[in-house]
Amino acid sequence: MSSDETIRVCVPVCQPELDRLATDWERAAAIGDLVELRLDCTDGDVEKLASRVHELLRQRSHPTILTLRAVDQGGQRQLSFNERTKFWNLQRQATATSQLIDIELDLANAWMMDSHRPTDWSRVICSHHDFVSVPQNLTEIYEQLSATPARILKIAVRANDTTDCLAIFELLDRARRERRDLIAIAMGSAGIATRILGPARGAFLTYGAAQDESATAPGQLTADQLTTLYRIRKINTKTQIYGLVGTKVMHSVSPHMHNAAFAAENVDGVYLPFEVYNVEAFLRRMVDPRTRELDWNLKGLSITAPHKAAVMSALDWIEPTALDIGAVNTVVIEGDRLLGYNTDAAGLIEPLLKRISSLKGLRVAVIGAGGAARAAVWGLQQQGAGVTLFARDTQKGSLLADELGIGCEPLWAKPFTDYDVLLNATPLGSFGEQVPRTPVTSEQLAGVRLAYDLVYNPTETEFLRQAKLAGCETLSGLEMLIAQAALQFNLWTGHSAPTQVMTTAASQALT
């Protein structure tokens, strides 16, 4: 499956007000191949609802899915079995052939047993939802749905780790072999891969919200993200897969940068966020060509916190730089081998050298005691800078400092007037609850030549605001992010990265 005609994006409408249903339908129809009317979202009794829907769709031919979800299957309001049955009875004679109806297994079974009820099963989607996890009996559920005459089956379950997507991809493979139309989705941020890659692997459709706030299920992307950011209509089974592996990846701008770069360089590739908690299982079951359970064209990965050290034991070869730093942030899959690199250190130094032509003999204070601090210290040492580590956790900081052969001091309200550069390698100030925080104040920064924050989201952190108040030059983590990503792009593709394209994409994503 590779042509635009086989990639379908369905835009759901979940509108509480009956009178606004038509407006939302028109908006969704303008951007989606299909519209799903989630009628369990809409107020009003079922008779009035059925009448309004009939009126709405009577002269509209755009493919539409009518859904009146049971509450135990994710419905937005309590509707009894009898109320749902009454609605579909009222709708049965009025619904046009361009429309599909989505019902749960209990209704499908009841309709099968009712010999007096005429049903056009070619327009029926029989669905099952689990908003907690991937159920152990998923295969049995699929077979129960398959036992109905419904033309299309739908299974949506909750992924709590990216490896949970394997069960969905296995179902899609089975449905394709059995020539069954199947909508299969892993909900939640850990299931994003199924939403993006599913249609190219045989899924009947994928769902994309009109806007972020109108998503009707956890992890649902917008239609614009699917078609513009991830270029879903260009994906096929030969498309090269890349992605970001970590526990907090959904707010990363890396997909924006790399997907824009692929488009600019005409690379048939897509870059996805992979929310992974058990990185050993992920590498074994989805990455290593010798053991993985998924037939996909995976070519490379970015590795972020907290997995940069943990991945190293699973790799076949690691470059000396990454071994010295003790962290891998880039994996290249070459044949059956997994190769590890670190582009963080070089990416961190590159923008610094653009500001200060030589770092030799420079006095640099690095705040932090984690992987980012380790890469920063290593890179600065290679340039001949004199580095001192400052840590909130002095025990952790001292261990790292001893390992790197530098001094460590506690981070407290002391001035940094003895330093040329102050570098923040902590997450303080980053997107979320950390935003208002800073490791130091403007008073402490007085006399520092340049303040460098490795946090890139937001682009101006509280740390950088304090530095400007103190009269320091400032350097945002966005420049480091782009520099290390450009090195990754080259390792994966052999192409020189279009850095201006990546910069524009990242900046737009952040604003």
Kindly list the structural domains of the chain, giving each domain's residue range(s) and its CATH number in brackets, ordered by start.
Answer: 4-237 (3.20.20.70), 243-342 (3.40.50.10860), 345-475 (3.40.50.720)
Q: Indicate the pLDDT class of residue 149, thresholds 50, 70 and 90.
A: very high
Residues 131 and 107: beta-carbon distance below 8 Å:
no
pLDDT of residue 97: 56
What's the average model confidence in pLDDT over 220-248? 96
Nearest to 445 by CA among 418, 470, 463: 470
- The single-letter DSSP state of residue 497 is P
What's the average model confidence in pLDDT over 208-235? 91
Question: Please, which residues have CB within 8 angstroms of residue 239's CB and are 6 or more apart in sequence?
Answer: 200, 268, 269, 270, 297
Residues forming beta bridges with residue 66, ordered by sequence position: 37, 101
Residue 447: left (phi > 0), alpha (psi -120 to 50), or beta? left
360-406 pLDDT, tens digit each:
999 999 999 988 999 999 999 999 999 999 998 889 999 999 999 99
| Residues 264-291 as b or e (16 or more Cβ within 10 Å = b) | beebebbbbbbbbeebeebbbbbbbeee
- The single-letter DSSP state of residue 496 is P
What's the average model confidence in pLDDT over 414-443? 91
Question: Average pLDDT, whole number, for the chain?
Answer: 93
| Residues 315-338 as b or e (16 or more Cβ within 10 Å = b) | beebbebbebbbbbbbbbbeeeeb
**Judging by DSSP bridges, how do beta strands 407-410 and 386-391 pair with one another?**
parallel
Residues 277 and 507: beta-carbon distance below 8 Å:
no
Which of 140-149, 169-178, 435-444, 497-506 shows the lowest mean pLDDT across its residues? 435-444
pLDDT of residue 93: 59
What's the average model confidence in pLDDT over 265-275? 98
Q: Indicate the pLDDT class of residue 94, thresholds 50, 70 and 90.
A: low
Q: Is the pLDDT of residue 474 over 80?
A: yes
| Residues 370-390 as b or e (16 or more Cβ within 10 Å = b) | bbbbbbbbbbbbebebbbbbb
**Residue 464 to residue 422: CA distance in whole angstroms:** 11
Q: Is the pLDDT of residue 448 over 80?
A: yes
**Residue 495 to residue 42: CA distance in whole angstroms:** 51
Q: Indicate the pLDDT class of residue 4, thresholds 50, 70 and 90.
A: very low
Concerning whether 238 is annotated as a catalytic residue, the answer is no
User: What percent of the chain shows pLDDT beyond 70?
Assistant: 98
Alpha helices in 7-95 (DSSP H): 21-31, 46-57, 81-92
207-216 pLDDT, tens digit each:
999 987 767 7
The Cα angle at residue 327 between residues 323 and 330, in degrees rounded to 5: 100
pLDDT of residue 430: 87
Which of 113-122, 127-136, 166-175 shows the lowest mean pLDDT across its residues? 113-122
Q: Is the pLDDT of residue 2 over 50?
A: no
Burial zone of 431 (CB within 10 Å; 0-12 exposed, 13-18 middle, 19+ buried): middle
What's the average model confidence in pLDDT over 248-270? 96
Sheet holding 181-187, edge to edge: 181-187, 152-158, 124-130, 99-104, 64-67, 34-38, 9-13, 206-207
What's the average model confidence in pLDDT over 80-108? 84
**Residue 147 to residue 137: CA distance in whole angstroms:** 15
Q: Which of 308, 354, 360, 468 does the annotation list as catalytic?
A: 308
